[in-house]
Structure 1
Amino acid sequence: MLVFEFKTYAKSAQFVAIDEAIRATQFIRNKCIRYWMDNPKVSKYDLNKQCAILAAQFPFANNLNSMARQSAAERAWAAISRFYDNCKKKVLGLKGFPSFQKDNRSVEYKTTGWKLAEDRKSIVITDKIGIGRLKLKGTRDLNFYQPDQIKRVRLVKRANGYYVQFCISVDREETILPTKNTIGLDMGLNHFYTDSNGEQVENPRFYCQAQKSMKRSQRLVSRKVKGSSNRRKARIQLSRIHLKISRQRKDHAIKLARCVIQSNDLVVYENLSVRNMVKDHCLAKSISDAGWYQFRVWLEYFGKVFGRATVAVNPAYTSQECSSCGVIVKKSLSTRTHVCQCGCVLDRDENAAIVILNRGLSTVGHTGRSALDAGNAWEDPISTSVGENLLEQIES
């Protein structure tokens, strides 16, 4: 599934209609959540039936396309099913009980309620809301795909305007020559990562760089009167700063992950639990700013696209274990050099990256191979975790 995004340009009345459709979607989702709270044994199909009842009761809900109403009910069911799955898996802490949405920013249409122009440069929303024709501006070309391949169309509201997203049913696969290289990645805060070859990538720290302008915008928001138009404008300015940071972080993760995957046949990284790591209030901001999880998601995605193997290993004691003899050498965070009694002297992060690579090689069946001379290509593009059955992970 590919997602193409275009910025849309229209009249102010059309943007007001988009806001109305977004509010109707939020209303239907919250009503479905309330219906489930009152009737806990309802199913996904019962929520879809509830959409027709809401359309008969409320005229503004009836103006929304029927499949858009079903998409809102599916969002409610996604939150409910996620809560059930967390309860079955006995996830520690909060289970994510479904809550009412207060700031929805998108409306989603399925195969009806919209019509794409022949030149693929505009789209017409055909429901009773009154959105009409929207011009599309972007670098993607929709002429390569048939209209029946577009399974979803989303209208998204952001701080700097409105966007149209197309979800296209396409299996993306690209063939590249094997490099016969393997690499282990140790994520860090001083450097974004250090690989098993000793190379380091600097941490961009986009959030820290924008903190000065962000604090200024936050002060402007706090000075304005609540409910005033000036406060609304100040909030939009602050939202644009946060939007720019998120886009910078995403762009950095995509480009770096693609480069790593194309340069190596096997990529091994730590299976970090970022949710637990950010509980440390001293490092929470720096960890969130690094964007490790987003980088991992794109590593696994490009691994499937280019047919590369990605392996997630247990991060326990990777910084303490010696990459040469396997002895645990305890060291504090301030100690940046690994010195072992076997004579191994390496940078702390490079030693951890080699340990990570060795664990990954042992997982995929290369037991006994050294991290320095392992160079055979690995053909199975499956992301795995150490200690789990490989067949079960492939099926999942």
Structure 2
Amino acid sequence: MVKRAFKYRFYPSPEQAAELARTFGCVRLVYNMALQARTEAWTLRQERVNYNATSAMLTAWKKTEELAFLNEVSSVPLQQALRHLQVAFTNFFAKRARYPTFKSRKRSRRSAEYTTSAFRWRDGRLTLAKRDAPLGIVWSRPLPEGASPSTVTVSQDSAGRWFVSLLCEDRVEPVPATGVVGVDAGLDSLLTLSTGEKITNPKHERRDRAALARAQRNLARKEKGSANRAKARLKVARVHARITDRRRDHLHKLSTRLVRENQTIVIEDLTARNMLRNHNLARAVSDAAWRQFRTMLEYKTEWHGRTLVVVDRWFPSSKLCSACGALAARMPLHVRSWTCRCRQTHDRDVNAARNILAEGLSVIACGGGVRPQRESSRTRRSPMKQEPQRATAGIPAFRRGEDVNGPPSRRAGCPGGVLPA
């Protein structure tokens, strides 16, 4: 049994839309006020304020004349906003995230979270607190049989669409799989598998680039603050939403297929944030959405009991010969195929995928970390490369009298020299 969110689109009535808009505004205000109070307490008095203290502050705020309107909306989304702030500070003190920032009326996500005490679920109908009519949800797929939502999140995206997410318990049926695959992410081919298969990059943003440019030019001509500018902004947001929806759907299908077919999946630890600094590749890297794909693989492999291995980002997968283990001196991006000194010709992406698979299997066999360690990332060396290199490292196998067609069992740094089957 896993907790799974089912997201649906719904169409609120004008009264429901106005009530939800007020709720979004109150949630944002409470979050910002609590963040300001916690920041001032630490800056001025070196005092840490926890969730219980901010909850007491919220009760006091509701009793003031200036903030009496907070009583007009459900209290549960306001309390959930304080809990989210507490989680943000917990992640900050654990050095997993940056310091929390204020929510913006224009840029931040508009959402409100309701727990079981703030909604009614009966006969497949969802009614939120302080509302009499249920939400007009479009049930694009059924909920699990007998499922009852424990948390409901209502949100509105920048294109004006309304969504409701129901968190339910779902049973994932086990599907046996024995395959192993290495995955190399790219731009020409979105994914290249160690089996030699290449998955074409759909380039969703490029397909709508002309329509997006027209909508943005139309937006730039409108006067700021006018109703026509608001309409033009919605048109731009709808183009972005269409691109995002197509990209997410494609990545879901790819990740589900890989998880169902393979027991072990090996990927690279790519840093898309650093790659976005290259202005020649920033748009293509953003459109590929490698980070989103990795996130999907992480929770889907956990659901299905699969193994996901993440190879260190500094592992030279493209420059390493998958046949003999020789390391090329340099490998520019424009080189898509190359011939090793052992007379083996490689496709750059397929060779990289095979090397990633071999390195991941050696990590499993030798007990290395699944994720790259902080120290190894700082020194730009993978966990497996911390071992001293052999004297014959970098010398082609045919010159050492080894079989060039055999598996590169020792090049990955495995002390035993044997990779798992």
Same fold (TM over 0.5): yes
Match of 1:292 in 2: 290
Note the C-alpha offset of 1:223.
Answer: 1.0
Q: Aligned equivalents of 1:328 and 1:76: distance in 2? A: 48
- Is the 8 Å Cα contact of residues 28 and 54 (structure 1) preserved in structure 2? no
Tell me, in whole angstroms, the C-alpha distance in 2 between the residues paired with 1:18 and 1:65.
10
Match of 1:230 among 222, 228, 231: 228
Could you tell me whether the CA contact under 8 Å between 1:33 and 1:76 is conserved in 2? yes
Q: Unaligned regions of 5+ residues in structure 2, if any?
A: 43-47, 375-421
Alignment of 1:299-338 (within 5 A): 299-316=297-314, 317-329=316-328, 330-338=330-338
Worse-matched range after superposition: 12-21 or 249-258: 12-21
Match for residue 90 of structure 2 among 74, 81, 94: 81
- Aligned partner (choices 55, 60, 68) of residue 53 of structure 1: 60
Contact 1:65-1:113 at 8 Å conserved across structures: yes
Determine if contact 1:174/1:305 at 8 Å carries over to the other structure.
no
Aligned partner letter, 1:140: R
Aligned to 2:142: 141
Amino acid at match of 1:116: W
**Structure 1: where are the runs of 5+ without partners?**
90-94, 368-382, 389-396
CA distance in 2, matches of 1:253, 1:12: 35
- After TM superposition, give the deviation of residue 277 of structure 1 in Å: 1.8
How far has the Cα of 1:359 moved from its partner? 0.3
CA contact (8 A) 1:337 1:348 kept: yes
State the distance in 2 between where 1:189 and 1:78 align.
Answer: 35
Give the letter for the 1:139 counterpart.
Answer: S
User: 1:195-226 deviations in whole A, cap 9, x for unaligned?
Assistant: 11111001111111111101111111111111
Superposition misfits of 4+ residues, deviation over 3 angstroms:
none
**Secondary structure, aligned partner of 1:300:** helix
Specify which of 109, 117, 120 is matched with residue 112 of structure 1. 117
Pairwise CA distance, 1:44: 2.2
Secondary structure at 1:71's aligned position in 2?
helix
Number of aligned residue pairs: 359
The CA distance in 1 between the partners of 2:72 and 2:93, in whole Å, is 32
| Secondary structure of residue in 1 paired with 2:150 | strand
Local SS of the residue matching 2:190: strand
Contact 2:22–2:73 under 8 Å retained in 1 = no
CA distance in 2, matches of 1:109, 1:273: 35
2:239 is the alignment partner of 1:241: yes
Percent same amino acid at aligned positions?
Answer: 29
- Which residue pairs with 1:280 in the alignment? 278
Check if 1:219 corresponds to 2:231. no
Corresponding residue for residue 162 of structure 2: 162
Residue 133 of structure 1 deviates from its aligned partner by: 2.8
Q: 2:257 aligns to what?
A: 259
CA contact (8 A) 2:184 2:192 kept: yes
- Pairs within 5 Å for 1:187-226: 187-226=185-224
CA contact (8 A) 2:23 2:74 kept: no
Alpha-carbon distance between aligned partners in 2 of 1:249 and 1:72, rounded to the nearest angstrom: 30
Scaled by the length of structure 1, what TM-score is found? 0.85
C-alpha deviations, 1:337-389, integer Å up to 9, x for none? 1311122211011111111000011011179xxxxxxxxxxxxxxx922569x
Q: Distance in 1 between matches of 2:134 and 2:12?
A: 8
Q: Does the Cα contact within 8 Å between 1:114 and 1:125 map onto a contact in 2?
A: yes
Name the CA shift for 1:131/1:155 in 2 (closer, same or farther; >3 Å). Answer: farther
Structure 1 CA distance for aligned equivalents of residues 276 and 120 of structure 2: 44
In 1: Cα distance, 2:313 partner to 2:340 partner: 20
Report the secondary structure of 2:292's partner residue. Answer: helix
Cα RMSD, aligned residues only: 2.1
- In 1: Cα distance, 2:60 partner to 2:146 partner: 36
Q: Give 1:285's aligned amino acid.
A: R
TM-score by length of 2: 0.80
Equivalent in the alignment of 2:407: none
For the residue of structure 2 that corresponds to 1:328, the secondary structure is coil
Q: Say if 1:351 and 1:143 are closer, same or farther in 2 by CA, change over 3 A.
A: closer
Instruction: Report the residue type matching 1:105 in the other structure.
Output: R
The residue number in structure 2 matching 1:72 is: 81
Which structure has the bigger radius of gyration? 2
Kindly indicate whether residue 354 of structure 2 is the aligned counterpart of residue 342 of structure 1. no
Summarize the Cα distance change of 1:305–1:146 in structure 2 as closer, same or farther, 3 Å threshold. closer
User: How does 1:17-56 map onto structure 2 within 5 Å?
Assistant: 17-40=19-42, 41-56=48-63
Q: Which has the higher contact order (CA 8 A, sep 6+)?
A: 1
User: Is structure 2 residue 354 aligned with structure 1 residue 354?
Assistant: yes
Report matched runs for 1:116-135 at 5 Å.
116-118=121-123, 120=124, 122-127=125-130, 132-135=133-136
Contact 1:14–1:131, Cα closer than 8 Å, also in 2: no
Offset from partner CA, 1:107-127 (integer Å, 9 cap, x none) = 111122211232x1x322223
User: How far 1:143 sits from its partner (Å)?
Assistant: 6.7
